[in-house]
């Protein structure tokens, strides 16, 4: 039976909660997943951080490369000095994928689009000094939002492409230890962002005409919080170097729900589909086991 099916079938039948399924990826091939977008069939589109590749992890665990962004020989990404870094990814209703690319060069940094069966095209240019990380979309308003981990700013870009604008700034977004805004989601009339250096989760209201409201910290002391996803009224957040996923309630209290014992190895992103949670692990620091974990949504 395909690896995804064991979890989904058990949930459908209402049997005892199965253990997480871990899809192991190939570190030697650069398969270190940074962010995730889900396909309707349950397969996962992921960015590989340092290869310039976007890939699809299928229901059978197979990996298919969907896009390759050229790695510039003179690339020098701020903060980590890699030649390229692929961050957030979102999927449009028609299957088009958008993802962020940082190279430290004016010729490569920005938002890219890849249509099904097509080649990647840069649709927005952003400053080469940025470390573009989380990406979120508001399809109704036709806006993309981008978190810059190297600067206290959230960028806004039209989905159709074009010039970016500084949508939100402020002390809550300020990098701490070199890294700031990381994960990004649009939810409940607001843009939500994690600050990995500060260990906080921030809510920024979307006001009249799409203007940003005042950023407000809604959860503190989370540790190195990377990407996150909403599950009902709570948030599931990847705490990268601590190898945990925590549930953050409406009062900002965090409870650990997944750990390294479940297969986490520097978890980088979270997605939720129905009663199933998907977590990517980049295995950046220990050099261990990059993977995609699929588990029943914790109660």
Q: Tell me, what's the pLDDT at 298?
A: 83
Q: Count CA within 13 A, CB hemisphere, residue 55.
A: 24
Angle at 126 between CA 184 and CA 185, to 5 degrees: 10
CATH numbers and ranges of domains, the chain: 3-296 (2.120.10.30)
The answer to whether 53 touches 86, Cβ cutoff 8 Å, is: yes
Q: Tell me, what's the pLDDT at 93?
A: 97
First-to-last alpha carbon distance for the chain, in angstroms, is: 26
Q: Tell me, what's the pLDDT at 236?
A: 98
Residues 6+ apart with CB under 8 A from 40: none
Query: What tens digit of pLDDT does each residue of 59-91 get?
Result: 788 999 999 999 999 999 999 999 999 999 999
Q: Tell me, what's the pLDDT at 6?
A: 42
Q: Which of 110, 115, 65, 118 is nearest to 85 (CA)?
A: 110
Residue 17 — pLDDT band, cuts 50, 70, 90? low
d(CA 98, CA 90): 5
DSSP letter (8 states) at residue 176? B
Q: Is 89 left (phi over 0), alpha (psi -120 to 50) or beta?
A: beta
The answer to whether 271 touches 36, Cβ cutoff 8 Å, is: yes
Query: What tens digit of pLDDT does each residue of 19-64 get?
Result: 789 999 999 999 999 999 999 999 999 999 999 999 999 878 899 9
Q: Is 150 left (phi over 0), alpha (psi -120 to 50) or beta?
A: alpha
Residue 299 — pLDDT band, cuts 50, 70, 90? confident
Give the pLDDT mean for 96-112: 97
d(CA 230, CA 201): 12
The answer to whether 23 touches 57, Cβ cutoff 8 Å, is: yes
Query: What tens digit of pLDDT does each residue of 221-277 get?
Result: 999 999 999 999 999 999 999 999 999 999 999 999 999 999 999 999 999 999 999
């Amino acid at each position: 039976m395909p690896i995804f099916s064991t979890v989904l079938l058990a949930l459908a039948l209402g049997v005892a909660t199965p253990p997480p399924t871990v899809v192991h990826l190939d570190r030697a091939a650069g398969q270190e997943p940074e962010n995730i977008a889900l396909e309707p069939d349950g397969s996962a589109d992921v960015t590989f951080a340092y290869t310039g590749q976007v890939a699809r992890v299928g229901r059978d665990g197979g990996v298919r490369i969907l896009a390759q962004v050229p790695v510039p020989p003179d690339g020098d990404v701020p903060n980590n000095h890699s030649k390229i870094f692929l961050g957030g990814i979102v999927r449009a209703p028609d299957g088009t994928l958008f993802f962020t690319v940082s190279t430290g060069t004016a010729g490569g940094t920005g938002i890219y689009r890849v249509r099904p069966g097509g080649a990647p095209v840069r649709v927005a240019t952003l400053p080469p000094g940025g470390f573009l990380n989380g990406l979120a979309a508001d399809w109704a308003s036709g806006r993309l939002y981008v978190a810059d981990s190297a600067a206290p700013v959230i960028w806004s870009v039209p989905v159709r492409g074009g010039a970016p604008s500084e949508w939100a700034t402020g002390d809550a977004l300020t990098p701490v230890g070199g890294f700031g805004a990381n994960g990004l989601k649009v939810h409940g009339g607001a843009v939500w962002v994690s600050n990995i250096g500060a260990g906080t989760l921030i809510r920024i209201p979307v006001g009249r005409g799409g203007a940003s409201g005042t950023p407000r910290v809604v959860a503190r002391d989370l540790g190195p919080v990377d990407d996150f996803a909403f599950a009902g009224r709570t948030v599931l957040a990847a705490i990268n170097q601590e190898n945990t996923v925590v549930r953050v309630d409406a009062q900002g209290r965090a409870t650990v729900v997944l750990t390294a014992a479940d297969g986490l190895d520097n978890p980088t992103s979270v997605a939720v589909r129905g009663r199933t949670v998907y977590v990517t692990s980049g295995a950046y620091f220990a050099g261990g086991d990059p993977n995609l974990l699929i588990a029943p949504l914790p109660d």
